[in-house]
Amino acid sequence: MSLIKFATTCLIAATVSQAVGESFSRQAQAQAFGEVPESFPIPGSLPDGTTLRVDGSTSMRLTNEELEGRFEQQYPNVDVELDASRTDEAFEALINGDIDVLSSGRPLTQEERNQGVVEVPLEQREKLAIIVGPENPFEGDLTFEQFAQIFRGDITNWSALGGPDLPIRFVDRPDYSDTRRALSTYTVFEGKPFETGATAAPIDDDETETVINALGEDGIGYSVVSQVLERDDVRIIPMHKTLPDDPRYPYSQYRAFVYKADADPATLAFLGFATSNPGEEVIGAAVDGDTAVADSDTAAADDGTAVATDPEAATADAAGTDAATGTDSAAAPIDTPPTAAPSDADVVAAAGAEAAGRGGFPWWILPLFAIPVLGGLLWWLLKKGGGAAAPAAGAGAATAGVAGAAAAGAAAVGAAGALDKSRLVLTPRDGQNAYAYWEVPQEKLAAVKREGGKDLTLRVYDVTGRPKQGPLPAPVGEYPCIEEHPDLHIPIQADDRSYCAELGYLSADKKWLPIVKSDPVRVPMQLGVDGAAPKGPNLGAMGAGAALAGAAALGAAKLGGKDKAANEAATKTDLELISGHPGELLLASPNGKRLHAQWDIPSESLAAARRQGGETMVAKLYDVTDYQPGADLPEPAAQVECSDQDVDAEFALPAADRNYMAAVGYQTAEGRWLPLAQSEPLQVAQSGIPGAAILGGAVAGVAGAAAMGNKNDQPSGEDVSVPSSSIKLSSQSSQKAYAVWDVPEAAKTAVKAEGGQTYQLRIHDVTDVDINQQSPKSTLTYDLAEADCDRTVPLPNGDSDYLAEVGYQAPGGDWLMLARSNVIKPLQTPDVSTSDETKDGDTGVSATDMAAVGAAMAGGLALSQTDKDQGQTVKVHSRKNALMFDAHQLHHIEHTVASTHYLSPGLYSLKIKDGVFNYDGDDSHPGEPFVILWIHGGTVINPQTGIPVSTTWTTLNGYDDSLTLTVREPATLCAFFVDTYPDDNTGEVTLAITKHEEK
Amino acid sequence: MESGVVAEIKVHSQHNCYRLSPEQMTAIQDNGVSVNLQPGTNRIKLLEGDTPYVTGIGDQAEPWVLLWIYGGKVINKQTDTEVVATWASLNGYTDELILEVLEPATLCALLFDTSTGNHGGELTLSVTAI
């Protein structure tokens, strides 16, 4: 079937639409994490006689053995001495210089970290298995609660679990066991001391072999799963009808390698293997015996020394490694879905669907399995350029485990593709403070520094009343930044204004070299306390984008109704903060799929918590949707074990249209919960709505105190008008106008109470129309974010009269207008400057506004509605409306399909000299002279666009059409056609390429 | 070869034709922005908006769009040939396509792209009957 025929079959479904399809490769993004170097050098050889000593948790035994095998294969002259004693003792040995690498099954304590060590966590946790002996007659499964009751000795007989009348022996590991400690962090053990009961049968060491030997027919114990898989002397008990190869299986354990900051090359090489996929280690040159001790803080490759994969990109690999390769017992997947790198959401969804058939699974535990352990990793907000998919992929790759190479490959590709993924998020915290967070690849920072950048600086601009991406005014604040700390708390000068931030470098001569700019955000009006806002906006009825993203900023805002009740309850049940120096915790759902908690805990609070026994920092997520004031907090919907250095955590969003709250604190060895901070409730609206991924500018409105008072005064139906709202429309050129409005939150609240749902700007063509009596000739409609206060709009016709309205559209289509502007005519002159500020109520019409201009055709936005006799405009998004060609396809086009020509630097013109192309030689059409051109490989400039690019596309249509091209760097021209069925095409065109003399 | 012309390359309708899979064709028509074209003459061009067209990292991006026109007879005035499907591009804000629509057709606007990065911009395409 030819393209024409195929297209015809599709025509029936074609409408004026903006269907979009996100079809992007999911990416991982490498991030700096604490002091972990970005890479570890793996020299080609190590000096003879080198010995590497590794000791630590018994739970890391198989991981270490697998690494030892790989390491000694590369360095047969090096002796690796493995031991598996216990983490605390091995740590002392590390500090004393008795060993080189500590393999830990728990996060280091802050005290330990302060002793000059570097902790390299493995992103993949190891699952824990609940085990019995093969002769044990119990064949059922356990719930979390039942296991906790067994642990504590509350259940003493297998008959209580549906098994035979047989006493239970709980085979327990010693207190120092990292595996035991990992169990203690789970919520099911909260509230009571983490202690066994009368059924306990403790063993003397932390060896799984000892546990297995002690099981007998009545014992039950636990182990890291890799040490009990595929054995006939032990059996794993299902938990909630899942086994450890199921991502929903509950328990898992932290793992890390630790080394001293003055580590030698052999140690760093070992870490290089640990953070590389088997067979993918990048081996460099030899290190002779005189090689100086490497500085672990600068462990990147020296000359002649290659580096291993970025550890964060590769930790998933490493995790997959120890689970999937090497020893027999590690050959089975641990928590790996069958396909590589699904998103967390996918995992959860799939797991949910699957479990629906099995029943009984507590969904709150699900996010545990999909959360990367590297606390500094922020996957959220990659929405720009593949956005939401990218963070999901990052986490997905992390969960891929055995998918190994595929997942690792995705991560690596993602990391490489993330070089240009800079972003800066500015989030208001209240009326006086904001929080800026950025992600800028090191390569980008380095590039700007090479341009002269000296001091990394954050600038803050007051952009109230300014076009969203127009030129920035003078900054209102300038704050020095530290590259290693990609965030900053900044004061805000005035509330109820819009701000944006820009990160950049100042050069030595104070020249500003910008890197990335945030979206503008509205800092809400700071309201009074104690019910100044008795009824907040119905977040659920807001634009979803605002609700999802803006709620982060509104965490401290006043939430009405149910939300407020939850807030109060949360506060009431909030645990006493440890030291009287409460921390802050901000919960946000930047992309509608994940929840991101970020905290700032005073160091004295952390220290106080640790003094009181705090052992493990845990971030918890609570679903507080149905929370009643005065009630205890519900069971966490999810929890993440953190390291003391972490300042954030991510949770998969359990469900939309729910209210969530987060808390961070310490868990003691006895199971006590020492809270450090908790967030305000966050309402997460229905996900998947456009705009949900946009954080900036999506600050949800805060209900004004006057809202209730005004509510009953508002007329319903059309032409709802709040006197204090105003809008001004001014012409900027023959094609553009600038609308700026001022709508108090009280007005918004009132109109929404009347059913207003979608905040909109409408531009009406009112030529020869009495707008009070007649319908406009045409209307352009723009959906707005709650925080929007201005927009530049195209004017479809230079001869027409226009006015603007701002208001809300009700679900039934009714237009609830808040304000209407003056009438303008488009200017004939080119662009005029835009006023920065607009006074309330200033809706006067300037003389220039009224100037008549010549006809011009322009358009609107999104689903712009225009006069059918005039025209229409649509938005074409560079990502959403793009067809992606992958590397294979591009290679195929260049080397197999296209007619190509090498273009050396110079000025060219290209034209079709003769010939035609015909899609279907059997029909009567004569064919058309056209061709598609793809120019790539070097910088070129098409003067029609004037933008230097390394890839460009164009077509030539007809013999008079020509492409002028400035080729700055050698490039390749590919000329070709596309069709679904080329076999019946006929014709050939001749493309003439002329190189002109440079003037 | 004419004077000044450094090369002439032949582009064959079959040998130099990239075969789109049905899925790709569907993706083009689904992912692209579609506009129904009614009989008459239309001017199609990109409008320079107030918002700069930028990449995902804020760099200036090249304003261009690829147009796939199908489903009815049309004539691109540049080729002056009646066809039932054709491709054209608009490169820059001054470029325009004058299209005579003889039968109702569909204009599908999209971009071809080669990498997943640097996507942040949005272009305004206008279609005006003249």
Q: What is the mean pLDDT of residues A635-657?
A: 78
Checking if the pLDDT of A394 tops 70, the result is no
Write down the residue that tokens 């070129």 correspond to: A940
Q: What is the mean pLDDT of residues A536-540?
A: 28
pLDDT at A606: 83
Task: Report in angstroms the alpha-carbon separations of B68 from A961, B84, B85.
Answer: 18, 11, 7
- Residue A405: other Cβ atoms inside 10 A: 17
A587, A638 Cβ separation under 8 angstroms: no
Inter-chain touch A976–B16, beta carbons under 8 Å: yes
Give the closest-approach CA distance of A142 to chain B in angstroms: 45
Residue A836 at interface with chain B, using a CB cutoff of 8 Å: no
Q: Specify the higher pLDDT residue, A788 or A967.
A: A967
What confidence tens digit (pLDDT) does each residue in A433-463 have? Answer: 778 888 888 888 888 888 888 889 999 888 8
Structure tokens at A411: 């991560």
Inter-chain touch A990–B80, beta carbons under 8 Å: no
Q: Specify the higher pLDDT residue, A248 or A965.
A: A965
pLDDT above 70 covers what percent of chain A?
64
What confidence tens digit (pLDDT) does each residue in A328-361 have? Answer: 333 333 333 333 333 333 333 333 333 333 333 3
Q: What is the mean pLDDT of residues A526-554?
A: 31
Inter-chain touch B70–A16, beta carbons under 8 Å: no
pLDDT at A861: 25
Lowest mean pLDDT segment, chosen from A217-226, A305-314, A780-789, A799-808: A305-314
pLDDT confidence band for A726 (50 / 70 / 90): confident
Q: Specify the higher pLDDT residue, A836 or A985.
A: A985
β partners of residue A457: A480, A504
Write down the residue that tokens 């933008």 correspond to: A947
pLDDT at A407: 32
pLDDT at A622: 87
Nearest C-alpha neighbor of A339 from the set A390, A410, A388, A276: A410
Nearest C-alpha neighbor of B105 from the set B14, B13, B41: B41
Checking if the pLDDT of A48 tops 70, the result is yes
Say if strands A200-202 and A169-172 run parallel, antiparallel, or are unpaired: parallel
User: Which of A10, A953, A983 lies closest to B112 in CB terms?
Assistant: A953
Lowest mean pLDDT segment, chosen from A279-293, A595-609, A818-832: A279-293
A138, A132 Cβ separation under 8 angstroms: yes
Mean pLDDT comparison of A92-96, A190-194, A483-487, A944-948, highest-scoring range: A92-96
Report the distance separating Cα A106 and Cα A121, nearest Å: 9
Inter-chain touch B18–A857, beta carbons under 8 Å: no
Instruction: List the helix and strand counts (H, then E) for chain A.
Output: 20, 43
pLDDT confidence band for A752 (50 / 70 / 90): confident
- Mean residue pLDDT of chain A comes to 68
Q: Which residues of B42-55 are buried (b: 16+ CB within 10 A; e: fewer)?
A: bbbbbbbbbeebbb
Give A-chain residues touching B40 at CB under 8 angstroms: none
A714, A750 Cβ separation under 8 angstroms: yes
pLDDT at A312: 37
Report the distance separating Cα A683 and Cα A39, nearest Å: 40
pLDDT at A434: 77
Q: Is A190 helix (H, G, I), strand (E, B) or coil?
A: coil
Inter-chain touch B31–A419, beta carbons under 8 Å: no
A131, A211 Cβ separation under 8 angstroms: yes
- Residue A946: other Cβ atoms inside 10 A: 13
Checking if the pLDDT of A525 tops 80, the result is no
Residues 693-732 of A with CB under 8 A from B: 732
Structure tokens at A315: 């930790």
Predicted model pTM: 0.34
Checking if the pLDDT of B43 tops 70, the result is yes
Report the distance separating Cα B85 and Cα B87, nearest Å: 7
Q: Is A372 helix (H, G, I), strand (E, B) or coil?
A: coil
B13, A985 Cβ separation under 8 angstroms: yes
